[in-house]
Structure 1
Amino acid sequence: MSDAPARASSAQRQRLRALWRSAGWPSRDMLELELIGAGWVERLLDADGRETLRLTDAGIAQLLSARRQHQAALGAHEALAARVAQAMQRDGRLAWRGLALRAPLVQAEAEGGSRTRWVVAMPDVYSIRQTTREDALLPIAHEVKVSRADLLADLRRPAKGEAYRALASECWYVLAAGIAQADEIPPLFGVLQATPGGALEVLRPAPRRPFTPMLGLWMALARATPEPPDEESPQAPLGPVA
């Protein structure tokens, strides 16, 4: 037991959660053996000699630690997304968080043609200018990352970025300080870095392209509620119109 790792791996935590939610029937695989050896799971025998598994106090502590870390990361993510939305509002834009938008992805066919595949994109912040000119809306999508692991997982899914670009004139990654360099982000995206003082520093501007929202996008925005103005901002009651 003294050789037990200080922190369970992702696979070990997943199995601990499964055991916590189950009746504890053993699987007898190597992962289960690791959990028993680490002292996070113990074997029990009932009166009929049937074996079950139960989390020890140390195993429960591993689950609690993982949950608190997840909640802390989620809190940091939401706080940074709120900062981005407020920055967009200060620029005179309408901003939304938590939207689920249908995005068209055009895929080339082997025969030389193409087909459109529709996917659901969920940018952390989506904003448009407050204007009556359709060609001046300048939709912008922001994707917020507060951990390097989450960022790298995102970059391994290029279709996600393509979906954002199908919905916006500009797309940005917003990074917590220290998790990545600008040159690690694909050049089709701008890069903002959150500073400890609360500012958003431009590490690389986003390429801009003409974009006119489709009817389906307009309907999604009409059904959603924009972020309320930042009450602490002295310009909260104002709404510049381009």
Structure 2
Amino acid sequence: MPALGAVHQRRLRELWRSAGWPYQDLVELELIAAGLLSRERDGHGRETVRVTDAGVALLMRTLERNRAARDAHEALVGRIARTMQRAGRIVWRGLALRALVGEGETAAWVMAMPDVYSIRHTTVEDYLEPVVHEIKVRRADLLADLRKPAKGEAYRQIGGQCWYVLREGIGDADDVPACYGVMLARDDGALDVQRAAPQRALKLPFGIWMALARATPEPHHDDDQASF
């Protein structure tokens, strides 16, 4: 049986959503050999492919694994957001901010989408200290992120400090370039700073201010307050 990877799972999902018209390429051939697709002919003699019961089971396992990863990711994003709020910062989740990356003819606008973005609660612009936190709970996602230098540069254009927060067991500071701080999120709830993020002065461009003005900050959940 051939070794199956992400490209095979992606093709299997495409064929599940489609009418089953064959690609007739090597990926499809390997899926058929693995028993995840079957070849069929309709009443007019046209060949189609169908996802088998084994293929459906594989799609369900992938769905459950991805759903669990999303839940773990959102839980850690929420933990970092609350930590920043307790530090007296205004916090946003899921922002989409445009950043100019590169210089001269190579300059290009890149969309930065940090998991957590925060500024200090202050009326003095020089004291804002914008900070980016990028959350990773799977090693594959961390390595894929680090292979996109333009994405990392966009983070640094919108944050005076940039952090990677890694779920325990998927990596450490040695995996991440020195221009980022690194925190490890322990399973017991602790956040361990492996390397402090370099800090530099940064004034927010007008476009970032407008994006923040249109967005809604994270509601403040005062879960440390005693109940009466």
Q: Establish whether TM, by shorter chain, passes 0.5.
A: yes
Question: For each residue in 1:198-241, what CA deviation from the matched residue of structure 2 results, as whole angstroms up to 9, or x when unmatched?
Answer: 12110000011011112111111111111111242229xxxxxx
Structure 2 distance, partners of 1:168, 1:122, is: 12
Aligned alpha-carbon RMSD (Å): 1.7
- Greater relative contact order structure (CA < 8 Å, 6+ sep): 1
Structure 1 distance, partners of 2:194, 2:32, is: 48
- CA offset at residue 105 of structure 1? 1.6
Q: Give unpaired runs (5+ residues) of structure 2.
A: none
Query: What amino acid sits opposite 1:181 in the alignment?
Result: D
Q: Name the structure 1 match of 2:69.
A: 73
Q: Name the structure 2 match of 1:55.
A: 51
Q: Give unpaired runs (5+ residues) of structure 1.
A: 110-114, 236-242
Greater percentage in helix:
2
Q: Secondary structure at the match of 2:135?
A: strand
What TM-score, normalized to structure 2? 0.93
Q: Name the structure 2 match of 1:15.
A: 11
Equivalences for 1:32-111 in 2 at 5 Å?
A: 32-108=28-104
Structure 2 distance, partners of 1:108, 1:24, is: 48
Query: Is the CA contact (8 Å cut-off) linking 1:4 and 1:39 kept in structure 2?
Result: no
Query: What amino acid sits opposite 2:95 in the alignment?
Result: L
Question: For each residue in 1:126-168, what CA deviation from the matched residue of structure 2 results, as whole angstroms up to 9, or x when unmatched?
Answer: 0000011111111100111111111111111111111111111
Does the alignment pair 1:229 with 2:220?
A: yes
Identity among equivalent pairs (%): 56
- CA offset at residue 73 of structure 1? 0.9
- CA offset at residue 56 of structure 1? 1.1
Query: Is the CA contact (8 Å cut-off) linking 2:166 and 2:172 kept in structure 1?
Result: no
1:178 pairs, out of 151, 169, 173, with 169
Q: Which has the larger radius of gyration?
A: 1
- Residue-pair matches, total: 226
Structure 2 distance, partners of 1:196, 1:116, is: 41
The 4+ residue runs of structure 1 with deviation greater than 4 A are none
Query: What amino acid sits opposite 1:87 in the alignment?
Result: T
Q: Secondary structure at the match of 2:111?
A: strand
Query: What amino acid sits opposite 2:153 in the alignment?
Result: E
